[in-house]
Amino acid sequence: MREILTIIAACIVVALAAALAVPPFVDWTKHSAAIAQKLGEGFGGRVALEGPVRLRLLPAPRLTAGALVAERAGLVIRARETTLELSAPALLRGAFEFTDIDLDHAEVSFDPASLDVAGAQDARVAVARFRLIDAALRVAGAHPLALDHVDMTGAADTLAGPFRGQGVWRGARVVDFSFSTGPIEQGRLRGKFAFDDRGSQAHVEATGEVALEDGATSFSGQAIVNGALGGAPARAAFTLTANSDALHADKIDVRLGDDDHALSFSGAADLVRGNGLDAHLQAASLDLDRFRAGHAAFDATQAAPALALRLQLAADSVTLGGQALTNVAADIVRKPDATPRIALDAGLPGRTRLHYDGAFDPVAARAFDGDVKIETRDAGKLAAYIAPVAPELARWLTAGAFARLSYDGHVRVDADGVTLAAQAVEVDRSRLAGAIDWRAATANARSRLDVRLVASLVDIDSLPDFSALAQVSAQDDLTLSLDAQSLRVARVGAAPAETGRLRLSVTRADGVTLLKNMSILGLGGANLSGSGRLTEQGGGLDFKLDAERLNDLAVLVRRVAPGPASEALVARALALSPAHLTFSVATDASGAFTQINLAGDAGGARYSAQAQPAGQGRMQARLSMQAPEAATLLRQAGLAVLPLKGIGGARLEAEGEGVIGAPLQTRANLDLAGLSLRFAGETLFALDRASARGELVGESADFARLAPLFAFGAPDLSTRIPLSGRAQMRVDGHGLALSSIAAEVAGVKAKGELARDVAGAISGALALNRLSAPGLAALALGPPQPAPAGALWPMLKFAPARFDPPNADVALDVGRLDLGAGLVAQDARMRLSLAPGVVSTRDLEMKLGEGRISGEAALRREGGVVIAKVVLSGAGLSASAGPFAARVNGVVDLSGAGSSMAELAASLAGSARLKFSDARIARAAPDALAQVVAETEKAEGAFEPRVIAQTLARELDKNAQRLPAFESDATIASGRLSLAPDAMRLGNATAHLSGALDLRTGAIDVREALSTVAPEGWAGAPRIEISWSGERGALGRDVDAGALIGALAARAIAREAERNAALEADIHERAFFNRRLKMDRRNDEERRALEEARRILEQPPAPPPAPPSQRREPASVQTPQHPAPPKRPPAAFAPATRGVAPDPSTAGRY
């Protein structure tokens, strides 16, 4: 056996030695064709080997050759150097299974149109491992694909898969890739593919099927992309369908940014060769502020791929700049060698809607060239929003204070400026069109603004603030031309009127402003023309006015040049109409007037004013105003007076002199229907300001002559109202101020100071020696109305107020304040506030008698209804009404509304908390009740209710009832104040007091329930009710003693019942003794009769009687025949016979 094993081992050694030794001695290159043919049979195509061929069998069959060419349908493989290692067991089976294939500088070419998939499945070739070094991959087709410098390792179970491998492509970018697939089945290859871009750190995974249909390769499946866009992390997941011409992604879920600062989108996209990327993305909400906070370095220009692009993005809400933009839609188109374009539609803050369609420069963020439609209804809010990115535009929007602004036209924005070509501009209700061009300042030139507008309609009431706009453009050279073909003016009580025409031409260059032409024609019956020139050194303006009505022109002036002067013109436009004036003015560098010429008439008054140089830098001025009626001048001064005639004329004369640009020393005299006003002080008049300061003295022998002008009726010829006073006056841009006032009007002396601002509000402090509170209330209530006979308040409707008081807030210190109804307060201090239809006082403090009152009160008139509100607190007030007197402390809060004083009083409602001390009720002695009860209890006579009532009234009148201090909550409803009932002790008596005051009629109703301690034997305490009712000075007392009289009657009846019971008992007792006496007498009689009978029976017998016929017998003594005594009744105290009821009259007596 050992020999056999030794022989076998020797054979194996010889075979192995032959395998190692024989191949090197064989020229395999000569057999390269045969080897290639054999390889081609396994490959399923043609295989050619070039160069020397070497074969080694151990440790595994390994073939090394030079160049390799392998071809089959749709697949060509070429390699510069080839190494093939085969599996020996597979060779023994007749199959080619390569354990290792190395191809150096290989070129692998695919032609999907001619690829034989079925033949690949029949090929008997398997590759456990293959490696391509610096290979080139070529895919033929309509759009060939070439990848060079590819290193890859992998494996293939068969030429029909499964396949797996990984590698790297070092082309324009360095991309790592890997794949793993299943076998090819029905022309489809399912697998997973991954790509990693080393430069962008992008990672792509795709899972799906690669299909070969009609000679074209396609892919369908799912894909996930991770990476960075513009410096922010990004991730996308989508369904992918791709072929050699296009790629379609659906159900896209994109997240840009990290988890805390992410933007999320959904949608679809198409990538088509030659057309680039077309994406449609939607988002419910995008918070760009949060995204920018986390990714401040994000660069959108780097996020977009470098190819043709169309991106359509829609979002319901976008948060940007701290505000939410609504319904945002953007369509971005970028083509090679062309400026990107965007169509943007978004809702911006300030109720703004923006639509832009045009080019934009992604590098220069504020470079645009396209069509814009924008409308805003809150320009201020929009300006605040865009200020960080467009400060110049924001300043224009803010200065214009537009209520509504819309623009439709072309816009071009670049680094040099802004150009607008407006097809339609609507500023509130005005409609314009034209061109606006603004050029930024350069090193050699100032900024320039060129505005050329044509307006089909200009609404005067909605014009912007031109003064603010002028300040914004103050540093710009300006060319402005405006042709307004129609001016719309709103009129109270009538439809807006479209009338008049405006032409304006203004230029400004190098500090010189030229008003070339300004003409207003037919504006509400007014024509105004003017021209002028202004420089830094001064200038001049000339105007001519012819107007039958100034109202519409005044409104236009106020809109163009708002300020106190234009407001005053609007307020006095009617009083100044008609007007025919010429006016020219010259100013110096500070705007002070150097020359003035005014001549003409306005509203029936004649005006004449001249100011001219007087040499040595001085100027003289003179002003004259004359009106035939005082009402004319007062109305033109802004006072609301009636246009009455015959009161008297008015004349103003003023003269002044001083240095040009400095205040003029001025004296002025005004004679106004008997009222003389004199002024001496300084005045200053300039283009943009005016002021006066000095002493004002006024005198009038009878100021009542002017009363009819103020709707105070005809003057009382028998009463004169003298007026005299003086004050220091100041008039400037802040208003009118009077200080150091010392005046006396009809005996009322006033001291203090007053000021009236430009809005007409009056403030200050006055000290008055006396004042009437009803007179103040009449400012809201109107003149007092008469009350019907017997009524407290007038029932007539409130009369219209004579005039609307101005807005005022004045501190008053009044020595004597007449409150009405005979009440006069002393040392009153208050803060008086006035407004049209409103009179109110607050911080009120005044002394009334020995007490004090503080609080506030207000009257407000709305049409014919007056609303009143009063909150007062009092301390130590003395109050009396009829028999009542007390000191009162407390708080009252009430309010009401009505169209007459009677209705107002009947509507009062509120509450009060009152404290009474030292209270006294006359003729209400608290011990009267006890006295009457005691006297009645002692009386033995007949009971007389009338006598008791008279006695009670007489006892009450003997003394007053003094109440202890007490508090009471009061309610006020429907004009009636009701005190809550309060209980108090009055010695041995107890009082329950309640009351009411009817504010509608002044009637008082007080009720008191008075009771005393219950006497012995009384079931309840004696009680009476006292009531007082009537008007304050005529309160009547009524005593309700019904309960007392009833109680006393019950007591009298009880006493009579006791007497009757005692009498009845005595009668019963007497009857008992009578019956006993009679019984005793009967017993005595019976005993005597028995004794007599016994005695007779004990006598001897008598002899027999003789016969009657023989002899006459002597009369014998016989016992008298008494009647049987009656049956003795039972004793009253004896037990009753069984079955017989006892005598009730003796029950319990003995």
Residue 75 and residue 149 in one domain = yes
Residue 221 and residue 351 in one domain = no
pLDDT recorded at residue 440: 86
Q: 551-560 and 564-571 helices cross at what angle (nearest 10)?
A: 170
Residue 161 and residue 270 in one domain = no
pLDDT recorded at residue 1117: 42
Residue ranges of the alpha helices (H) in 492-629?
A: 551-560, 564-571
pLDDT recorded at residue 1118: 45
Bridge partners, residue 367, by sequence: none
Half-sphere exposure of 686 (CA within 13 A, CB side): 17
Residue 934 and residue 974 in one domain = yes
Condensed to tens digits (0 to 9), the pLDDT of residues 494-535 reads 567 778 888 999 998 888 889 988 899 988 889 999 999 988
d(CA 920, CA 860): 39
Residue 183 and residue 220 in one domain = yes
- Sign of the alpha-carbon dihedral angle for 110, 114, 118, 120: negative
Q: What is the DSSP string of 949-984?
A: HHHHHHHHTTSPEEEPPEEEEEEEETTEEEEEEEEE
Q: Which of 313, 315, 263 is nearest to 290 (CA)?
A: 263
User: Is 112 in contact with 141 (CB distance < 8 Å)?
Assistant: yes
pLDDT recorded at residue 206: 95
pLDDT recorded at residue 305: 65
User: Is 858 in contact with 868 (CB distance < 8 Å)?
Assistant: yes
Residue type at position 365: A
d(CA 743, CA 698): 9
pLDDT recorded at residue 687: 60
d(CA 590, CA 511): 15
> Is the previous residue joined to 564 through a cis bond, with omega within 30 degrees of 0?
no
Residue 362 lies in a domain: yes
* Domain edge (last residue) among 1064, 1089, 1118: 1064
Residue 1020 and residue 883 in one domain = yes
pLDDT recorded at residue 1024: 92
Residue 274 and residue 176 in one domain = no
Tokens 């054999």 map to which residue?
A: 38
Judging by beta carbons within 10 Å of its beta carbon (0-12, 13-18, 19+), is residue 485 exposed, middle or buried? middle
pLDDT recorded at residue 558: 83
pLDDT recorded at residue 639: 78
For 832, the enclosing helix (H) or strand (E) is strand 823-835
Domain count, the chain: 4
Backbone angles phi, psi at 921, to 5 degrees: -120, 115
Residue 685 lies in a domain: no
Residue 698 lies in a domain: no
Residue 379 and residue 426 in one domain = no
Residue 191, Cα to own-chain centre: how many angstroms?
63
pLDDT recorded at residue 1110: 47
Residue 890 and residue 1038 in one domain = yes
User: Is 961 in contact with 926 (CB distance < 8 Å)?
Assistant: yes
d(CA 315, CA 326): 8
Tokens 């009253």 map to which residue?
A: 1132
d(CA 56, CA 664): 127
Q: Which of 370, 362, 400 is nearest to 382 (CA)?
A: 400
Neighbours of 356 (CB within 10 A): 19
d(CA 415, CA 403): 30
User: Is 479 in contact with 470 (CB distance < 8 Å)?
Assistant: no
Structure tokens at 799: 């009369």
d(CA 220, CA 249): 10
Condensed to tens digits (0 to 9), the pLDDT of residues 40-82 reads 777 778 888 887 878 776 667 777 888 888 888 888 889 988 8
d(CA 653, CA 622): 8
Bridge partners, residue 826, by sequence: 816, 847
Residue 500 lies in a domain: no
Residue 61 and residue 188 in one domain = yes
For 347, the enclosing helix (H) or strand (E) is strand 341-348
User: Is 371 in contact with 410 (CB distance < 8 Å)?
Assistant: yes
CB under 8 Å to 1038, separation ≥6 — which residues? Answer: 1026, 1027, 1028, 1029
d(CA 176, CA 193): 11
Q: Is 103 left (phi over 0), alpha (psi -120 to 50) or beta?
A: beta
Residue 870 lies in a domain: yes
Below-50 pLDDT ranges, the chain = 13-22, 25, 1110-1123, 1128-1150
d(CA 414, CA 369): 8
Condensed to tens digits (0 to 9), the pLDDT of residues 967-995 reads 999 999 999 999 999 999 988 899 999 99
Q: What is the dihedral of CA 91, 96, 101, 104, to 10 degrees?
A: 120
pLDDT recorded at residue 92: 58
Neighbours of 82 (CB within 10 A): 24
Residue 383 and residue 472 in one domain = no
d(CA 708, CA 696): 24
Structure tokens at 594: 């150097």
Residue 428 and residue 351 in one domain = no
Instruction: Let me know the angle formed at the C-alpha of 539 by 534 and 540, rounded to the nearest 5 degrees.
Output: 105
d(CA 1124, CA 578): 148
Q: Annotate 1086-1103 with three-state secondary structure.
A: HHHHHHHHHHHHHCCCCC
Residue ranges of the alpha helices (H) in 463-563?
A: 466-472, 551-560
Residue 944 lies in a domain: yes
d(CA 311, CA 291): 20
Residue 1036 lies in a domain: yes
Backbone angles phi, psi at 744, to 5 degrees: -140, 125
Largest Cα separation within the chain, whole Å, is: 235
d(CA 1146, CA 1130): 13
CB under 8 Å to 533, separation ≥6 — which residues? Answer: 512, 513, 514, 515, 539, 540
Owning domain of residue 467: 416-441+450-484
Q: What is the total residue count of the chain?
A: 1150
3-state SS class at 1080: helix
Residue 601 lies in a domain: no
Rg (CA), the chain: 63
d(CA 769, CA 762): 21
pLDDT recorded at residue 1: 57
User: Is 271 in contact with 247 (CB distance < 8 Å)?
Assistant: yes
Structure tokens at 806: 């101005």
3-state SS class at 701: coil
